[in-house]
Amino acid sequence: MKIHSLDVYVVDLPTIRPHHLAMHTIVTQTIVMACMKSEDGIEGWGEVATIGGASYCEESPEAIKLNIEKYIKPLIIEKNPINFDALSHMIGTHVKGNYFAKALVESAMVDLVAKTKNVPSYELFGGQCHTSLPVAWTLASGDTVRDIEEAQNYLETKRHNIFKLKIGKGNPKKNVTHVIKIKEAVGDAGSVRVDINQAWDEVTSLYCIEALEDGGVDLIEQPLVRWNNEGMSKLSSRFKVPIMADESLGTLHEAYQIAKHRAADVFALKVPKAGGLTATKKVAAVAEATGISMYGGTMIESSLGTAICAQLYSTIPEMTFGTELFGPLLFKDNVTVNQIEYENFEIKIPNGPGFGMEIDKEKLKHYSREFVSSLS
């Protein structure tokens, strides 16, 4: 089997409501999809998502597409995708950085290989440890009463019992008060967590985390700027509430440095930031070897990207803090025929060949920025 073609599409999907982060507010989420075809016509599909163009990380959707088409695609055409780990390593020797682009290409290769073998992709990564995983939901109205009502509704319907609040924007003390009131209302029925998205300095973190810890919050995500591992280490050693690395964690080398300096108690795994599925498994191995807990993060992917992450996370034995794979629930529409299933507070891991998702090509044509005459 050889790779015959690789096409990349930039796709804009509307969300059901604004999703607020410290660096950007999402009302339309941009994903990048890739279709890799073998010479006998089998298709492998991949997806990565970014946040706010280049506001979250260095790679924009437009750059991902361009760099794949100009620099990565020529390296792999006519190669055998069954050697996806070796091909990913080869790409890495020729293309520096561009981890989202590399992850997109590798995921398409993995989907293609698994479909050729007629097995779920997780079988290529050691098989399943989980058939479902806990999934968090972000409360984002900014109104305490409305957020409490939403949390209580999801608890009653058994859709979510883990709730995250993005509190990097606005007055830190007011945000902390808002979070504590929600935790008081939820009580022991649910976990309440916060994500600061690098927005606090060390002084702000000290008094805010102390208040959040006393208020029963279960997890503090990335309070400090990504390069401040020393500061993150101080916070991790000072507080009982776990501190999680997100923006500071991407590559295997970053995972090693964080673990070495104990700059986090929890790793937020993200497939695109690590550079692909194989790289993410290596990051998870660093966490396992050093006693750091894990959390299955999200870049707010659509149904395909969520399936990619879910299948990989299902192969990791200890996902202590669950996942944040709620992306498909945030979109007004998706680009797959079948949908991700959620029940009993968990995401069900998709089965079926590849990542278990069938692309809706008419919807892809509708939401894609490109004229996609190649789709049939």
Catalytic sites, residue numbers:
166
Strand partners, 45: 35
Place of tokens 């479909």: 115
Q: How far apart are CA 50 and CA 186, in angstroms?
A: 31
How far apart are the C-alpha atoms of 279 and 270, rounded to whole Å? 10
Q: 334 near 328, Cβ under 8 Å?
A: yes
164 SS3 class:
strand
Instruction: Give CB contacts under 8 A, 24+ apart, made by 279-285.
Output: 279/88, 279/99, 279/103, 279/251, 279/252, 280/312, 281/125, 281/312, 281/315, 281/316, 282/252, 282/255, 283/249, 283/251, 283/252, 283/255, 284/316
CB 198 within 8 A of CB 180: no
Q: What is the CA angle 111-49-71, rounded to 5?
A: 70
Token pair 């870049």: residue = 299
Give a three-class secondary structure readout of 102-121: HHHHHHHHHHHHHHHHCCEH
CA atoms of 97 and 106, how far apart (whole Å): 14
Closest CA to 286 of 270, 267, 299: 267
**Structure tokens belonging to residue 35:** 């279709």
Buried b / exposed e across 334-372, counting CB within 10 Å, b at 16+? bbbeeebebeebbbbbbebbbbbbebbbebbbebbeeeb
Tokens encoding 55 = 């506001």
Measured distance CA(234)–CA(167) in Å, rounded: 21
